[in-house]
Amino acid sequence: MRLLITAGPTHEPIDAVRFLGNRSSGRLGAALAETAASRGWDVRTLVGPHAILPSPSSDAIEVHRFQSTADLEALLVEHLPWCDMLIMAAAVSDFTPVVPDDAQDTKWRRGSDELSLQLRPTPDLLKGCAERARGDQLLVGFALEPAETMLASARGKLERKGIDFIVANPLETMDADRIEATILQRGGEPIAQTDGTIPKTDFAGWLLDQLDAAAAVRSTDHRTAHE
Ligand code: CTP
């Protein structure tokens, strides 16, 4: 199994020293990479700024760093063809500042006037991957959503992005030690669910078990369809 994992935040540049970012730590991506490598999978990780790196003792894990959504998009174009499965755990910015081309060479100065920052939406990277992916590749996304509307929102994202699986987590577990998850497959049907909440330290193992099993089913289906 060749596994490509994205993790951590994106930093969208505003000027030479400022950026628009988010609080993602990259912890889940690092845990997934270490767990997959310990199972003998080949792992490449695309890791955002200041995010936790997988343990350096594991030679089976290749690490590439990105800063902005545009950097991550370029890395995905380069590395997607290599993988059997993409797990998109990065917290990709939904917007990027509209700034002049040379903005990163200068620093904005404070004046007495108010300043407005214009934002434009970033491309949906998973959707782009789904448009380029081969039929034998599996694409997995995440949906962190309020519990009440979680499944409906996750189904919408799965369909909009055209990916194979989405891992839905309730927003309420974001800063907790335990996590709850439901994996939905293309079409919106749930294929696995944690037994209530489980410790976050067990989550990477649980998720890889489920995705490994789902990949085995998919590859049998794929083979049967081509026989
Ligand atoms: N994602 C992506 N490209 C983006 C934004 C998000 O590929 N520009 C990926 C994330 O890595 C995650 C999944 O899409 O795996 C869901 O991310 P989320 O931010 O919840 O979804 P959005 O597409 O941004 O939808 P919304 O803004 O409606 O929540």
Residue 85 pLDDT exceeds 90: yes
Domain range summary for the chain, segments of one domain joined by +: 2-96+118-225
Question: Is residue 71 helix, strand or coil?
Answer: helix
Q: Indicate whether 186 pLDDT > 80.
A: yes
Closest atom of ligand 1 to CA, residue 121: 8
Determine whether 65 is exposed, middle or buried from the number of CB atoms within 10 Å of its CB (0-12, 13-18, 19+). Answer: middle
* Fold type of domain 2-96+118-225: Rossmann fold (3.40.50)
For ligand 1, atom 15, which residue shows the shortest CA distance? 141
State pTM to two decimals.
0.95
pLDDT: which is higher, 173 or 142: 142
With 70 as the cut, is the pLDDT of residue 156 above it?
yes
Rounded to the nearest whole angstrom, what is the distance from the C-alpha of residue 114 to the centroid of ligand 1? 31
CA of 124 to the centre of ligand 1 (A): 7
Each residue of 144-178: b (16+ CB within 10 Å) or e? bbeeeebbebbbebbeebbbbbbbbbbeebeeeee
Query: What mean pLDDT, rounded, does the chain reach?
Result: 94
Q: How far is the CA of 94 from the centre of ligand 1 (A)?
A: 7
The rounded percent of the chain whose pLDDT value lies above 90 is: 84
Q: For atom 8 of ligand 1, which residue has the closest CA?
A: 124
Q: Could you tell me how many residues make up the chain?
A: 227
